[in-house]
Structure 1
Amino acid sequence: MSIRYPARVPMANLPTPLEPLDRITAAYSTPHGGPRIWVKRDDLTESAMSGNKLRKLEFIIAEARAQGCNTLITCGGEQSNHCRATALAAAKAGLQAHLILRGGREPRESAVPADGNLLVDYLAGATVSLVPLREYVGHLPALFQHWEQYYAEQGDRALSIPTGGSDGLGIWGYIRAAEELQEDFAHHGISPEYVICASGSGGTQAGLTLGGYLMGAAHLVRAYAVCDNRSYFEEKVARDVLDWNRRQAHPGSQSAVDPHKLSIDVCDEYIGPGYGIADQEVYEVISAAARLEGILLDPVYTGKAFNGMLQDIKNGGYSGCKDIVFVHTGGQFGVFPHRTQFVLDAG
């Protein structure tokens, strides 16, 4: 079907490549074979902003401009990929960025300097509020309200963006990516049974799932949770779709979609110790992907999801599949704060 997209501000290098991972496919195949693994290189959307968040931000920044906003407020963990991408995208668009980050201390108050995504946040000129975990969890809506009011009193206007840019607006980024994937499949002459991604805030999964449904795609979207559980993500994807429906309630928009008609597939068996915490198996998979294919995964999102996918291949979870596609959502800056967890061969 023809999809009518809202306004967007082009920032990503699109389309991103779809590439086969033949060495990883061979290394992790079972005695009975296994599917050919492909990767959608959304880590290449842009060199520094890189990753899935930039697709969403194209639509979010267009909405900010339409509303006359000059400031973006968003939130996430101290090493949030979304917040780093927002800080850089805001700088490129000539907007201010204010990041409400969970945990940690100001670098000037700590013997440990800012690293990874947090370092890039500061380099991009974002205002950073590092908030203790208890306050963040218990008072996040009030924090957004406080800073919205603060900027209004300065004569500015702020657009508040939820965690991961995941709502009925940000979802457009991966509806568009789902359409791009259909073009990739036609180009390569493949019909993958599964499109696979990590799910942390649910927006990428929601966009891929809804986009595939709108286009009548044959594949199933499977998300590997990196936090929370399966029921949370099933509900979160449904909420994002309902929010998308609400935002389309005007003449010329797409017809509403009943979330119950969507196949929302979530695996929550490989979360490990918790959000942002990986086990040694994940670090080994990250090392293998870099060594075999020159692809850098991260311990928070893609490393966990890729490990889950490989473990399920090993256990026969994709038996009978010819091709599966892993969507690399970026996050490479998140590797560096985990540097001590990798076993490196200095020889």
Structure 2
Amino acid sequence: MDKSEFIECHKRIKPFIHNTPVLTSQLIDAMADASIFFKCENFQKMGAFKMRGATNAIMLLTEKQRQQGVVTHSSGNFAQALSLAAKSLGVKAFIVMPSNAPQVKKDAVRGYGGIVIECEPTLLAREAKSKSIQEKEGATFIHPSNDDNVIIGQGTACKELLEQQPDLDYVFAPVGGGGLIAGTALASQYFGNNCKVIGGEPYEVDDAYRSMLSGNIETNKTTNTIADGLKTQLGDRNFPIIQQYVDSIVRVTENEIIHAMRMIWERLKIICEPSSAVAFAAAIKHKNEITGKKIGVILSGGNVDLQNLPF
């Protein structure tokens, strides 16, 4: 995945995505004793950065593959992203969702044109159902985070941020399945100026932190975190990129996530989801290292269950 691929990808997907705004707050800067630039992917189409990777992955399919559709398994933002990207490009999208996924998420996927197929709420069941759709329909499977074309697409958010603020010292991004942080790390290599990338991860799902220590992809026994978008684990396509280019991963507590989320709502006057706030929580926790520096924070999305706010 070289620099030219990033440039081509960005050119390719531009008509189908928003170049999202970058916001600042003097109060937050004073509190952090640093200049912080928030890349607001909560304003992306369907409300999250995942629209970028989904669009790029579909656009790189052959004509025959497009005619037969795409399939993924997801109960969150990628389900919506692939549905909307597929609809924009005239492609069928089969979305395997666990039967216990919130109704609001199933409705959102259907609203974006996705064909929802429900299954038992286990990873094995999701994978088996996806496989059967691939065989029956000839649909191409697109992984939410462990796919080169998805990773490059997600990295265009950081590319845009660095085009606006080329001399950032650090970029903080949340770590879930690893697609966003891997793409961010590559973008900072190609378009930044000695810009370090730091991941934010909840203590409750700290598999990426442990993976960096052990050198192997670790899993989580429990996923008891408010940051529901970060419950997935790294894959064999993104983990080597993370190992090579991510400076460190900072773990944050549930209270630190809620505090950061609240501050974004109150100070920036925007809605972000808990997973988004994890990156900002990590920046605050890293305060000694970022003093006086220019910091980018990727706010990954804003799809919040308003019935279930933590404050």
Q: TM-score range by the shorter chain?
A: 0.7 to 0.9
- 1:192 corresponding residue in structure 2: 168
Would you say how many aligned residue pairs link Structure 1 and Structure 2?
284
| Displacement after TM superposition at 1:304 (Å) | 2.5
**What TM-score comes out, normalization by structure 1 length?**
0.71
- 2:108 corresponding residue in structure 1: 120
- 2:4 corresponding residue in structure 1: 3
1:1-347 mapped onto 2 (5 Å cutoff): 3-4=4-5, 5=8, 8-9=12-13, 10-14=15-19, 16-26=20-30, 28-29=31-32, 34-46=33-45, 49-70=46-67, 71-76=69-74, 78=75, 80-102=76-98, 104=100, 114-115=103-104, 117-133=105-121, 136-152=122-138, 158-162=139-143, 164-186=144-166, 191-215=167-191, 217-226=193-202, 227=205, 228-232=207-211, 239-240=236-237, 259=241, 262-267=244-249, 269-270=251-252, 272=253, 279-299=254-274, 301-313=275-287, 316-319=288-291, 321-330=292-301, 332-339=302-309, 341-342=310-311
Task: Provide Cα deviations, 1:62-105, integer angstroms capped at 9, x if missing partner.
Answer: 123544323221112x3x11111212222222222221223506
**Mapped partners of 2:65, 2:95: distance in 1:** 20
SS of 1:142's partner is helix
Task: Provide Cα deviations, 1:34-79, integer angstroms capped at 9, x if missing partner.
Answer: 2121111222232xx2321111122112123544323221112x3x
**Mapped partners of 1:260, 1:201: distance in 2:** 11
**Mapped partners of 2:158, 2:95: distance in 1:** 29
Structure 2 letter corresponding to 1:195:
V
**Mapped partners of 1:177, 1:212: distance in 2:** 11
Q: Is contact 1:8-1:60 (8 Å) kept?
A: no
Task: Provide Cα deviations, 1:130-182, integer angstroms capped at 9, x if missing partner.
Answer: 3333xx32344432211111214xxxxx12111x2442111221443443333
Q: Name the % identity.
A: 19
Q: Is contact 1:197-1:327 (8 Å) kept?
A: yes
| Displacement after TM superposition at 1:260 (Å) | 9.0
**Mapped partners of 1:283, 1:23: distance in 2:** 18
**Mapped partners of 2:123, 2:187: distance in 1:** 31
| Displacement after TM superposition at 1:324 (Å) | 0.6
Q: Is contact 1:18-1:39 (8 Å) kept?
A: yes
**Mapped partners of 2:289, 2:263: distance in 1:** 21
Instruction: Pick closer, same or farther for the CA change 1:260–1:128 going to 2, 3 Å.
Output: closer
Structure 1 unaligned spans of 5+:
106-112, 153-157, 243-257, 273-278, 343-347
> Which structure: greater helix fraction?
2
Q: Is contact 1:229-1:268 (8 Å) kept?
A: no
Structure 2 unaligned spans of 5+:
218-233
**Mapped partners of 2:117, 2:261: distance in 1:** 31
RMSD: 2.9
Structure 1 letter corresponding to 2:303:
F
4+ aligned runs moved over 4 Å, structure 1: 233-238, 258-261
SS of 1:262's partner is helix
Structure 2 letter corresponding to 1:312:
H
Instruction: Pick closer, same or farther for the CA change 1:298–1:241 going to 2, 3 Å.
Output: closer
SS of 1:297's partner is coil
**Mapped partners of 1:322, 1:118: distance in 2:** 42
Q: Is contact 1:23-1:292 (8 Å) kept?
A: yes
Rg larger in structure? 1
